[in-house]
Each structure stands twice: as structure tokens, then as C-alpha cells.
Amino acid sequence: MSSSEAKLKEIRVRMAPSPTGLLHVGNARTALFNYLFAKHEGGKLILRIEDTDLERSKPEFEKDILKNFEWLDIKWDEGPYRQSERTAIYAEYLGRLLKENKAYYCFCSEEELEAVRQDQLSRGLAPKYNGKCHNLAPEEIKECLSKGKPSIIRFRTRQEKISFTDLIRGKIEFDSSLIGDFAIAKDLNTPLYNFAVVVDDFEMKISHIIRGEDHIPNTPKQILIQEALGFPQPKYAHLPLILGPDKSKLSKRHAAVSVANYREEGYLPEALINFMAFLGWNPGTDQEIYSLGALAQEFSLDRVQKAGAIFNIKRLDYLNGFYIRQKSLDELTELCQPYLPARIATQSVAGGPKAEKAFLKKIVGLHQERLKKLSEIKEFTDFFFQDKLDYDKELLRWKETDDERIAASLDKTEKLLSEISERNWAKENLEKVLMQEAEKIGPPATLRSPEGVAMRAGDRGLVLWPLRVALTGKKASAGPIEIAEILGKEKTLTRLQEARALIK
């Protein structure tokens, strides 16, 4: 067995993001599949930062990548390696290709190359380099370099059929005559993508390359470079693209954004992991909920599909809601804390930090079943933290009820609740007083306000709807009785009085 063959015995995969932007869900999905494959096979995951694009690569983007991999709990075994710190390695291999006449300097200007490209397109040909500098004499090359003439390094492409067996798609074949002599470096110290990754994958002993299908056109170029340098060929698996519900290319209009954005919106890492795992893979069962560890046990490339994976934000919301409901109230309250006001409204709670924490736990607990993402807690609960609500009086109206009857309902509710002591201010007592009063009156009896205004008998909505709006200023909310319990007697009565003043 050769040393090159021995290099591929161990399962080693890599996630290789470029720090030219925030970590996108597509790149995170690719990293996850590499992680799951490595764990399932007992292999290792290498993190490589591909930052050879010096103009677009930024430290803040690398920081975002590392932070969000850690947040997702995608742990790597080696790295991070940075291509920007490996230029001497690339220069050595570039020099070797030049010395063996497998690569050459090209001095064609951008204007020349663009003119050739446009001519080829006009004749219905696939654009490729026309080979002008393919056979320059050594003296001419030396003279151009000594004069500092702008150049790049091109690979000499042999005319042959290139094929490889993709672990997901089967046999894929290319005709190298359609590729032409392609650029592999700007100079000895500035390698381009296809060259740098081939060298890195060999040096890092990568056995399997698992990446998106948009990289398929790069594969024949990389195989050619591998052959020229005598490197073994890794096994390839090209994942399906992620598509929007309309099967178009995934974009922000499909709610596909960076991992950091999902995190800020209040999605949980376990929900995002579970969601991404099903973007192109399925376990072959009806099971939908998987932990990261369970996914690693079940994962195999055999169950990765060829067709595009549909991104459905509603499914992510469903999964996130599920994981939110699994959290303990203490943990969920901590997670919701960043989305709640920094200042508790002056009349909301008294008794210091301990009472404040208990107050927040009640609020979060009331909405735990309704939350699809943590950020919703702000919209659902903002009225708890306001001293005075601002809403249209029309919102108080139940069906076609006139102002006089709404005012009467508010008066009656205020009177009933005012008779409950602070000590007995609890949901069961509030519910008993309000619901029994509304239910016990049946036709043809009427419920009357202190002023004697009649209300339709037995109509719960006429009691509960104005109460809900008075306490929240919202058309939809959690139950008004539960809200009243948390607000407390004083604030509940105050808001009922404010609502009555508004309707009058």
C-alpha cells in the first residue's frame, strides 16, 4: 500500500466556510451533514477557514462562523486552519507544477480574455481559455516576469474523459476539452479556490468531501489537479440544493437568512439542527424529532436525496415551538429575558429582584404553549410592562354591542372584581366570580350594570371580550382571567376604569 492510499484509510471530513459573509443556513446544513457523517463513522471533522479572498474575507465574519457553529453544538476535532496562513505550502506545490510543465504563466489581459469570451458566446460555444499563452517559450516567460507584466498561473488541461462516482448521485462524467486551461493562482503566493482546496484536502488527509451540488462543476478541475500532483482522489458526495417552497433558488424572500438572524429571532439551536437535518435527508421512518446525538446514530449518505430540498419556515416554527414547550419554566424565562423590557413597569411588581423573577416566570409560563419563537414574547406580553395602554375604543366592542352596554359590562366586571380581596386574588377565584355570574343568568333574565343598563343574558363574550381588551389593548391574547391574576388587583381595576372612560 502506498503512503497516499494510507492517507485515506481514516474517515476525515471537513467543513470549509469562507469568511466573506455571515454563516448562511445552507453552509450550516453542509457543516451539519459532515459532522453527522463523521460521528456516525467514528471519523474526524476538520474546520478550515477558506480566506484566500483577502478583499472580502473579514475577521467579524470568521467570528460569526465560529460562534454559530458552537451555538449549534457542531464541534470540530481539528482546526480551525486558515488558508491565509498556508501560502508557503501552496507556493511549493505551484512551483512543482510549473517545474513539471503542468502549469504555466499566462499574460493575457482581462480585456483580451473578455473579448475571446464574448466571441465564443456569440458563436454558441462554451467559454474557455483559447490557449494563447499555452506554448510560450521559456525566454519569453522570463522576460515578461522580469518586466513585471501582470500574469496568472494556468493549469495545462489534458484532453480526456473525467469521471467519478458520487456517493449520492452515482457516476458523473465530464469532457475536459470543454474546460480548457483554467486559472489556479494569481501568483505563487495567491492560490485560487480550486487549487488551494486540493492541496488542503490532501495535506489534511480528507477522505470524503461532502458539499453542495453547486460544487459539481469544480470537481473535474480538482480531479485534474489531484492527478497532476499524484494525490489520491477523495470520495465525493454532493448534497441537493435547498429550494424555496416555490422550488426557486433559496433567498431571503423565503425567510432564509443567516444563522445569526435565526438566533436573534429566538429560534433554538436544537430546533434549527432538527430542521436542517431534514433538508435533503430522511431517516426512512415517521419520526420527526431528533436530538443531535440521535441524528448522528441514524445518519447515512444512503438516505440523502438527489432532488432539491424544500425550505419550509412553517416546519421550523413547528419544531421550535415543540422545543420551547420542552423547556423548564426557569430555563425558558432565562431564554426569554433578552426579549423582555429591561425595566419593569412601576406598578407591575413590587418586592425586589426575587418578586420580579417570579412575575416574569408567570408571564412566560402563560405564553409557553403559544410561542413559536422566543422573540414573540415581546409582542405577546408588552402590555404587562406598560403603565398605560393606548388602543382604539372600537376594539372594546363585542359584536354589535353599543357603547352603553360595553360600559355597563366594564362596570359590572369592575364591581365583581373589586369585591375579591388581595389575598384571594387567584385564577380560580377570579374565574368563579366572573364565569358564574355570566353563566347563572339565562333567558329571559338580564345582566344589569350598576346604572341598570340591560345586557344580553348568558353572553360570555360580553363579559370577557371587553375585559381582555381593557387589560391588554389587543384583539388576541392569552385568557383575560389569567392575565388579571398576573397583573394584580390594583392594576386590573385601574385598567377597567381607563377602558370605561375611553368607551364613554
Mapped onto helix, strand or coil, the DSSP state of residue 257 is coil
Residues 6+ apart with CB under 8 A from 62: 19, 49, 51, 80
User: 418-440 burial by CB neighbour count: b if 16+ within 10 A, else e?
Assistant: eebeeeebeeebbeebbeeebee
- Of the candidates 264, 253, 171, 265, the one whose C-alpha atom is nearest the C-alpha of residue 219 is 171
Q: Please name the amino acid found at residue 319.
A: L
Is 399 marked active-site?
Answer: no
Which of 99, 247, 252, 354 is an active site residue?
A: 252
Distance CA 273, CA 28 (A): 9
C-alpha cell recorded at residue 200 = 488542503
Distance CA 146, CA 215 (A): 37
Strand ranges in 365-464 using DSSP code E only, listed in sequence order: 447-448, 454-455
Distance CA 325, CA 334 (A): 14
HEC sequence for 311-376: CCHHHHHHHHHHHHHHCCHHHHHHHHHHHCCCCCCCCCCCCHHHHHHHHHHHHHHHHCCCCCCCCH
Cβ atoms 184, 195 nearer than 8 A: yes
* Matching residue, cell 345582566: 447
**Cβ neighbours of 380 (radius 10 Å):** 21
Mapped onto helix, strand or coil, the DSSP state of residue 104 is strand
Distance CA 191, CA 483 (A): 63
Strand partners, 83: none
C-alpha cell recorded at residue 449 = 350594570
> What residues are annotated to the active site?
252
